[in-house]
Structure 1
Amino acid sequence: MFDFDVVAGETVRNILDGRRPEVIGIVGDAYRSHEAGESLNPDSYFLRFPEKPDSRIIALPAYLGADVQLAGIKWIASFPRNTRAGKPRASAVLILNDYETGYPVACLEAANISAARTAASAAVAATALRPGGFAGTRVAIVGGGVIARNICDYLHAAGAAPDAYVVHDLHRESGEALVEHLRGTQPASASFTDDLGTALGSETVVFATTALEPYVTAPFKPGQVVLNVSLRDLAPEVVLSAQNILDDVDHCLKADTSPHLAEQLTRSRDFVTGTLAGVLNGAVSVNADQPVVFSPFGLGVLDLAVGAYVLTQAREQGSAIQIPNFFGETRRW
């Protein structure tokens, strides 16, 4: 009961990169468990810095029952200025706690876990909201960072096979890097465009930016699927003109996300069509008469589900690092 393991980033990445279809299934199951009330997912807590308004460190506590039976917390920093020095924007750790005793059992490098669960969430949504498949369509990626790269990898693992990708990023070098990644990993053609409008005309549009406020003001067209992963790119009017699928309604309607701005504008939640779990369970449906926007706030239960899987795999393959005598006292007396 007093075992404590550390799982390093390289191990996490190797496990996840080789098991993307399994991770997609884990994330889908976690959504269903959350919808069924088998989890606790309190509000995230934001540590902000007055002199760095674009930077924050977020605590995401959660508990996931079902087959996981773990509590835990992800502590994730987002410092966009890191990218100017060629460093990743985000860094994170995940602490997992045993549900029976409350004792922590492991610490995992979690930037890779966070990116994987975010990308798997996007893949689950994309395939659920475009059940007819992606043949004959284009996928646009707005933002060319780590999350965007992971989303593309997970879309591929989910069987989403568009004819072409088009990438847009204000930082052309990042966008071109993603294009090269796509050309080396997927059969679809890939190209960069510096024209946002060209990207926004695609049948599926993925937003993975660091935008702090909306800049997309034109409504999307019927049949378009929008994965609003970065949450703050869309003006509220764009949200109100679409069918809106959220990961969790209460969580997503806060912190000035695009759906939250829509709620503030209308003083209503009537624009919310339902949750992704509702779509997966068949309780919520969308139609082709309006565009569909999926907005995932990002749930800590997803980190727990993916983290628990990584820990199990690391222990089985002997790559978890055991820390002897981590706890100073193991008896009351």
Structure 2
Amino acid sequence: MLQKNRDHSPDGDKTSTRIDFLYLSEPDMIRAGVTDMAACVDTMEEMFGLLYSGDYRMAGVNNNSHGSVVVFPETSPFPNMPRPTPDRRFMAMPAYLGGRFGTAGMKWYGSNIENRDKGLPRSILMFILSNADTGAPLAFMSANLLSAYRTGAIPGVGARHLARRNSRTVGILGPGVMAKTSLSAFMAVCPLIDTVKIKGRGQKNLDAFLTWIAETFPQITTVTVVDSVEQVVRDCDIVTFCGSGATGDPSTYPTVKRDWVSPGTFLAMPALCNIDAGMEAPEIRKVLDNPGLYHAWFEENSKPVHRHIPAVGIRWLDLVDEGRIAPDQLEDFGKIVAGEAPARRDEDEIIMMSVGGMPVEDVAWGTVVYRNAVEKGIGVPLNLWDSPALR
């Protein structure tokens, strides 16, 4: 039924106007391999090569926008308008990715931190994958796992290139979904990891995370709950901040201080993060997952941008704007993946990577999972039309 609309089928019926697409529920996505972290890391690495070559497009006049977001006012005369609680927004994240993917897609989600009181995830996400030539839908899929795994895989690709090969100790701030997928990615590329330090705000989340580690990675023999950000960072080979929180005041974001960081540490930051003056030093390598994304954010927001976008890479751009660091201190991770810039140069250098999250990641992993589903006969085929009523 789907043969006529398979994006990768060279022998489909070119004359048919019929359009079918796959609906993939969360259980379908799992059966199709969305939780295969090792494969996701490899896919994200391939995606970085396409980013560096320029074979992609995202939203905005700069083709690098994170997406388009709907936020709500503090006061409204309309009683049914949602209130602006933390993480309360709707967002659309479209992109095209070339190479063997050759597809376009958009992630759509609504987010409200109060969902947790209802037993729901903070964000509920869906993803539509489209034929890049006709624009016809290929799949409409549950995207919470898609988004979580592609997000966690990026720190994993970073660790593959920038962490020490013999890394054993990981420090994690925030024991949520992002922490689970980031640690899974670290384990996929640094198999000697046997120690984890974790800091969280609530005992329930900590207990769930500890149980998950014990069940998923029995090779991690030492797990320690710590009480401070300093303890998370000290004496670690890999550090990641995965916690959520309010934006607006960077002084409240969890901060990495130079005195805490051991020689050779790799820090991957996919969530709120700030740095002290010591971490501004030129010898601290500062790597952006996609410089274009950060420049788009910088163009789209009032200054200092770190008030609105809590990624540490935006803090670096603010520092450049203030004349406190040189622009050439900021490195392009895609260039490193492409082999045109050095990865880790020695065992002692400290490397920090900012992870912004990009819709091209959803397109890459969504395309792989969709093609797996087609090959395995997974999902529910749905018909859009046999012939369009208007054309």
Q: TM-score, normalised by structure 2?
A: 0.78
Question: Is structure 2 residue 58 aligned with structure 1 residue 41?
Answer: yes
Distance in 2, matches of 1:218 and 1:21, equals 32
Match of 1:304 among 333, 348, 363: 363
Match of 1:182 among 195, 206, 213: 213
C-alpha displacement at 1:3, in angstroms?
Answer: 1.4
* 1:315 counterpart SS class: helix
Distance in 2, matches of 1:271 and 1:177, equals 42
Question: Is structure 2 residue 305 aligned with structure 1 residue 264?
Answer: no
- The answer for unaligned runs of 5 or more in structure 1 is none
Question: Is structure 2 residue 287 aligned with structure 1 residue 245?
Answer: yes
* 1:3 counterpart SS class: strand
Distance in 1, matches of 2:117 and 2:191, equals 32
Percent identity over paired residues: 20
- RMSD, aligned α-carbons: 2.3
Distance in 2, matches of 1:239 and 1:54, equals 29
Which has the greater radius of gyration? 2
8 Å CA contact 1:167–1:178 kept in 2: the answer is no
The equivalent residue for 1:218 is 257
* 1:82 counterpart SS class: helix
Q: Pick closer, same or farther for the CA change 1:332–1:82 going to 2, 3 Å.
A: closer
* 2:243 counterpart SS class: coil
- The answer for unaligned runs of 5 or more in structure 2 is 6-18, 60-64, 74-82, 298-307
Distance in 1, matches of 2:276 and 2:320, equals 9
* 2:255 counterpart SS class: coil
Q: TM-score, normalised by structure 1?
A: 0.90
C-alpha displacement at 1:275, in angstroms?
Answer: 2.0
* 2:197 counterpart SS class: strand
C-alpha displacement at 1:168, in angstroms?
Answer: 0.7
8 Å CA contact 2:20–2:138 kept in 1: the answer is yes
The equivalent residue for 1:273 is 330
Distance in 2, matches of 1:60 and 1:170, equals 30
Q: Which runs of 4+ in 1 moved over 6 A?
A: none
The equivalent residue for 1:3 is 20
Task: State the AA in 1 paired with 2:172.
Answer: I
Number of residue-to-residue matches in the alignment: 329
Distance in 2, matches of 1:307 and 1:316, equals 14
Distance in 2, matches of 1:161 and 1:88, equals 32
Distance in 2, matches of 1:96 and 1:24, equals 20
Distance in 2, matches of 1:151 and 1:217, equals 18
The C-alpha deviation readout for 1:102-143, integer Å capped at 9, x for no partner, is 112211111110011111111111121114231xx3101111
C-alpha displacement at 1:194, in angstroms?
Answer: 2.3
The equivalent residue for 2:243 is 209
Distance in 2, matches of 1:180 and 1:296, equals 27
Question: Is structure 2 residue 207 aligned with structure 1 residue 166?
Answer: no
8 Å CA contact 1:16–1:23 kept in 2: the answer is no
Distance in 1, matches of 2:40 and 2:286, equals 25
